Amino acid sequence: MSYHNGSVWPHDTALAAVGMRHYGMTSQFLTLATGLFESVLQFDDMRMPELFCGFPRVAGYAPTRYPVACSPQAWATGVVFQLVGAMLGLRPEAADNQITLSRPTLPGWLTWLEVRGLRVSKSRLGVRVSQAPTAPPWSCSRATATPSSSSVGSSAAEIQEEAADERDDERGADRGVFALAGRAKRSARRGARRPA
């Protein structure tokens, strides 16, 4: 048992996993992400600790806790969100009031993922990505923006329609990129006004 030799540091592991995802090493990314998600389920209150011991896995047993590891710890807590963002290929573009999902990839154990209340610039939206039964690993069967109670602008049907238009455009169809523009920008284009 050692603090630096052979221990698993979730935030470092997540950084490596996200780098693998960025460079197209999808199966390696999913292996590391799955290991981290499986480990967090074993810790008290599902709090990712600063580190844990890197002993080999034994079926039916949780990872060995490092006795003085901080739990929770801020950067370890961020691991789950970082991995979810990488699975979605999430790229916020605040200046354009847009969120882009680039080749969403879910591990086999996760058939769908829904994130609500995403904020970008002045907008708030939700995204649901699900696996198609025979889809390649980078595909998703649906990506939609849904209205939240505190936002203004287009109806859910209009947003879904525009999201579909984005998916079908030349860039999105060729590269598997789904761009979901924020409702505030869409509202401005349509001349919609904020309720009083």
Q: CA-CA distance, 43 to 8, in Å (whole number)?
A: 14
For residue 140, being part of any structural domain is answered with yes
Could you tell me the pTM of the whole model? Answer: 0.67
For the record, the structure tokens of 8 come out as 């698993």
Neighbours of 49 (CB within 10 A): 22
pLDDT for the residue numbered 185: 35
For residue 4, being part of any structural domain is answered with no
pLDDT for the residue numbered 169: 41
For the record, the structure tokens of 47 come out as 């709090």
pLDDT for the residue numbered 117: 87
For residue 2, being part of any structural domain is answered with no
Domain boundary among 82, 109, 132: 82
C-alpha 93: how far from chain center? 15
Is 70 in contact with 5 (CB distance < 8 Å)? no
Q: Is the peptide bond before 136 cis (omega within 30 degrees of 0)?
A: no
Mark whether 186 and 124 lie in a shared domain: yes
Q: CA-CA distance, 134 to 136, in Å (whole number)?
A: 7
pLDDT for the residue numbered 34: 95
Number of domains in the chain: 2
pLDDT for the residue numbered 82: 95
Domain boundary among 51, 82, 113: 82
What residues make up the domain containing 75? 10-82
Nearest to 146 by CA among 129, 168, 171: 129
What secondary structure does DSSP assign to 95-123, as a single string? GGTEEEEES----TT--EEEEEEEEETTE
pLDDT for the residue numbered 188: 37
Which runs of E-coded beta strand occur in the chain? 90-93, 98-102, 112-120, 123-130, 177-181
Half-sphere exposure of residue 32: CA atoms within 13 angstroms, side-chain side: 25
pLDDT for the residue numbered 127: 87
Q: Per residue of the chain (196 residues), what is the pLDDT tens digit?
A: 888 888 999 999 999 999 999 999 999 999 999 999 999 988 888 889 999 998 998 888 889 989 999 888 888 989 999 999 999 999 888 888 888 888 899 999 999 998 888 888 888 888 889 887 654 444 333 343 433 332 223 333 333 434 444 444 433 333 333 333 333 333 333 444 334 4
Mark whether 77 and 120 lie in a shared domain: no
